Structure 1
Amino acid sequence: MANSTGAETGMAQLRLICDDILTIEADALVCPAHKHLIRGRGLSAQVYDRAGAALVSECSQLPECAVGQACITSAPNLPVHYLLHTVTPQWSSGDQWGALAVAQLRQCYESVLALATERGLKRLLFPALGAGTNRFPHEIAAHQGLEVLHGVQQKFAMITICLHSEAALGTWRKVERRFFGAP
C-alpha cells in the first residue's frame, strides 16, 4: 500500500508516496530516457519491458532527445495515457561539472511540465529523476524537483512523486519540510 503525504493548494495537490510506479493511474508517467529513446536501465527498462514492441516502434520514429529535454509517446500496457520521456544527466560526484548536471536535472522537470501543459495533462506521475541509475544524491534530486514542482503545482490537478523505497521517501519528505514548509 502507498505511503503518502501531500500539501494541498486549492484543488492542486503535490504528493510524495512509496509504491510501484507502474501500477498507478495518471494522465502521464515521466520516464527517464536514453537520448536515442531506447530501453535504458532502471525504471526505463521496466517501462519498455511492460510497454513492449509498440513503444519501441513509436520511439524509433522520434528524433534523438537531448539531456534536459522531453518528448511524449503513448503508454501501451501501462495505467497511464502517455509517457513523458526526459533524458536525465549523469551525476559526477559534484566535480566541476556538478553545477551543469544540477541545471540539466532542473531542465528535465521544466521540459516535462511544459510538454504536459501544452498537451493539457493534469495528473502527472514522477519518479525521483536522476536519483536512480544516474546516481544523483536524493537530497539534491529532491531539492531540484520539489522546487520546480512546488512552483507550478496549482496548474495541475495532481502531481505525484513516487519513490522506490521508504528511505528515499523519508529523504524527500525531509527536504520538502525543510525548504518548502510541508507538514
Structure 2
Amino acid sequence: ELNLINQKVASLTTLTNDERQKLVNDLGQLGPIEREAYLSSLTKQHEIVSAPIKTTIGTIIVDNKKAAKKGVKELAKRAKIAKGKNNYLKTIELYQSAAMLASNWELSNELVQIEEIIRKTKIEDLSVKKKDLEKEAKVAVKSKNYVEASAKYKYASKMASEIFKLGASDMTKEVKRLTKKANEYEKLK
C-alpha cells in the first residue's frame, strides 16, 4: 500500500523529496477513501495551469510573458521621460501600470525594482512640493501674512511626514522643525 502511495506522490513534480516523504507518511495514516480524495485533489491542483490573460495598458497589448517584459520596459521608458519633465504624477502612474503588468505576469524581479522606483519618485515629488511650500511660507512671512505662513509650514510639515512614511528616516527632525515654525507664526496672527 505504501508503494502505491509512493508512486502516486512521485507524480507530483513540484514537491521536494522531504515534502514527498512527509506526504507519504501523512497519507499512510488516512483511510483509503480519504487518501484517494486527498491525492485526487492534489493531482487536480497540480494540473491547473493558469491561462495567460490578455492585458492592455494604453497602446501596449500583452498576451505572453515576453510581451509583458517588453511592455514593462516600454512603460518604464515613458515614465523616465515624464520624470525628466518633472511630471511626477504621470511618472508614478506609468510606473504603477508597469508594476501591475509585472504583477499580473509574475515578473517578480521587475516588480520589486519598479516598487522601489515608485517609492523614490514619491519621495522626490513630495520633497519638491515641501521645498516650494517653504519658499511660499517665507514669502508670506516677508509680507507679514502670518496666517498664510503658518498654513504653508503646516502643510510642508505634512509633506515631510509623508516622506518619513515612505522610509526617509531623516524627516523626523524636519517634521518637528516645520511644525515649530507653523506654531510660531500662528501665534503672530
Report the TM-score when normalising by structure 1: 0.26
Structure ranking higher in helix proportion: 2
Give the structure, 1 or 2, with the largest relative contact order (CA under 8 Å, sep 6 or more). 1
Relative to its length, the structure with more strand (as a share) is: 1
TM-score of the two chains, using structure 2 as the length reference: 0.25
- Which structure is larger by alpha-carbon Rg, 1 or 2? 2
